[in-house]
Amino acid sequence: MKMNKLFLILLLGFVSVAANAGEVMVVVPPSYTSDTDTDDSVYAGLKWTLNKGTKPEVVVGYRHARVKSNGDVDGGDLSFSFTLLDGFKPGKIRTKYFDGKEKAQGEVSVGYDFANGLFVGAGAKAPYSNLGVDYLLSADNPWEAYFILDTLKEYDVPRKKANCPEGYTFNSGTCEFDGFMKLR
């Protein structure tokens, strides 16, 4: 009796293998394309200007960034700085263009200093910090270097998109044919 059960199990196993003989699942690697995300951030920070004492200014701003899946980042920034410790006093309004990678960007800026008029600037941005220099167009001492601690972290890089040929479905890192292909 045990021998009959074993024979029946083996026979059913061979029949199921034979039923799938001649059928193969076709798997191909996907191609990958770059993806882009946007990152819109409202931020705040404390700004120290060289030769202006130890009391920081407050900076508030809005930053719009385009982040690609290879880590490239570019965008624009609009900010306003002011003092609060000795009463409210407006500092600078600034617009920036930035370009770089997710962890560091170079910046160029133009703006208006409420005490000295128009200025242009350049800087470097890293997570939670910014270092730069401004050239005040109508000031006796035109160069101002500054350092900012802010709330902006590094950018999250989007994943690349996986693309499969027509008739294939992406599954666990490969493109699988949407059915079985019969071999003749």
Q: How many domains does the chain have?
A: 1
Range of the domain at 52: 36-150
> 179 in a domain, yes or no?
no
In a domain, 23, yes or no: no
pLDDT in tens, the chain (184 residues): 555 554 544 444 443 343 445 556 677 787 777 788 999 999 999 999 999 999 999 999 999 999 999 999 999 999 999 999 889 999 999 999 999 999 999 999 999 999 999 999 999 999 999 999 999 999 999 999 999 999 999 999 988 777 888 888 888 778 888 765 555 5
How many other CB atoms sit within 10 Å of the CB of residue 95? 14
What is the SS3 assignment for 139? coil
Establish if 67 belongs to a structural domain. yes
Kindly report the CA angle at 131 between 126 and 135, in degrees rounded to 5?
140
Residue 140 within a domain:
yes
CA distance 148 to 137: 22
Please indicate, yes or no, if residue 16 is contained in any of the structural domains: no
Helix (H) / strand (E) element for 3: namely helix 2-20
pTM: 0.72
Q: Looking at the domain assignment, is residue 171 inside a domain?
A: no
